[in-house]
Amino acid sequence: MRSIVITFFTVVLLASCSKSPQYPSPDIKEGSIVIDKATLREGAPEFFSIEIENNRINFFVLVIDGNVESYLDACIRCYKEKKGYRVEGERVVCRACGVTYPVEMLKDGFGSCHPIPIKGTMAKGYYSIALDDIKSGAKYF
């Protein structure tokens, strides 16, 4: 009986680790994701999930040198693993291959496991990402 319980929990644990994480949903207004810049911390990625056409798309937003940047929680090389990135200090780490990038260098876009940038705009203290721009990244999820 004990081995059955251990096997069950091992299967549950492995299954839960193989899926991409689910994050809080962002605010949506007039066809755009809207994030208050005041809620973001310098150099600290903030992850979000959004459901579009039965597909959960994860992305993150961060402030670097006062400017807001946004990225899909996926890269061209490892997206098929559907694991995304995690944060370790001031670096993002690919959960699939272990490649790390300093957050202040994400905009430079080097390497094959680099997070995919998403276009966004700042206006009146709010960062907006058009839902169509997020939707264009659905193929990576």
Beta bridge mates, 42: 63
- The pLDDT value recorded for residue 19 is 64
Domain count, the chain: 1
Domain-embedded: residue 86: yes
Domain containing residue 61: CATH number: 2.102.10.10
Domain-embedded: residue 11: no
Residue 12's SS3 state is helix
d(CA 113, CA 133): 20
Domain-embedded: residue 2: no
Q: Any idea what DSSP says for residue 77? A: T
Residue numbers of the domain that contains 133: 21-140
Percent of the chain whose pLDDT exceeds 70: 86
DSSP alpha helix (H) spans, the chain: 2-18, 131-135
pLDDT tens-digit map of 104-124? 999 888 777 899 999 999 999
pLDDT tens-digit map of 60-102? 999 999 999 999 999 989 999 999 999 999 999 999 999 999 9
Domain-embedded: residue 132: yes
d(CA 93, CA 62): 15
What is the reported pTM?
0.84
pLDDT tens-digit map of 4-26? 434 333 333 344 444 678 999 99
Q: Any idea what DSSP says for residue 42? A: B
* 40 has a pLDDT exceeding 70: yes
Domain-embedded: residue 80: yes
| Average pLDDT score, the chain | 87
Burial of 19 (0-12, 13-18, 19+ CB in 10 A): exposed
Domain-embedded: residue 9: no
Beta bridge mates, 93: 86, 100
d(CA 41, CA 19): 27
